Amino acid sequence: MEISSTGEGLDILMRCQASFLQNWMTFASWYSIQKNLPDANVVIACERSVQETEFFHWTGRCKVKFFQFQKDLSPISIASNRKLIRDDKPLEIEPHVMAAREYDYLEVGPDDVRSNTSSTFIFYNEGCGKFVVSEWIDRLDNPFNSAIKRFGTSSMSINEIAVLKMWEQMNVIYSAL
């Protein structure tokens, strides 16, 4: 099946872990997909934690397909068996990957956020502007509020600008959830 520019025909399986960091990162990734690929089928697979967590409640409120799995099991098999995905080869992404624009089969990515490549997907695990992921690992908040002012630089790529703008747009929604 051909994939449309709005993501119709595209299955995306986002694999994450239960943590403060991956909770907001997963939300940011999901939000970016909803904004730029609204017809894509998104499923979030969260590796089960031994500790009881208060993460990912937003998935129910946003009606996102979500399940937890044991570390030794295949999330693709689980999603396929539960008929959450259409085929057994979805696009697999991690929480630090965002959809920066509509689907382009010639430039799917993911590419580094610091590049000016017009890829559909970009990743920011090595930073975005002045934002450094490692400085947020143990923080109990997210970087969405005033993201451009806080993390912007004069030499940002088009992808960095796109990420920081989306972070600002999602701030109110994420805070309300």
Taking only the tens place, the pLDDT of each residue in 111-147 is 999 999 999 999 999 999 999 999 998 888 899 999 9
- Reported as a pLDDT band with limits 50, 70 and 90, residue 54 is confident
Q: Report, in this order, helix, strand and coil percent for the chain, each rounded to 5.
A: 30, 20, 50
Q: Is the pTM of this model over 0.85?
A: yes
**Range 22-46 average pLDDT:** 97
Residue 52 has pLDDT above 60, yes or no: no
Q: Tokens for 129?
A: 């502007």
Element (H or E) spanning 148, and its range?
helix 147-151
- For residue 10, what are its two tokens? 């595209």
Query: Residue 74 half-sphere exposure, CB side, CA atoms within 13 Å?
Result: 8
Structural domain boundaries in the chain: 11-176
Crossing angle for the helix pair 20-36 and 158-176, nearest 10 degrees? Answer: 110
Summarize pLDDT for 79-105 with one digit per residue, the tens: 888 888 887 789 999 999 999 999 999
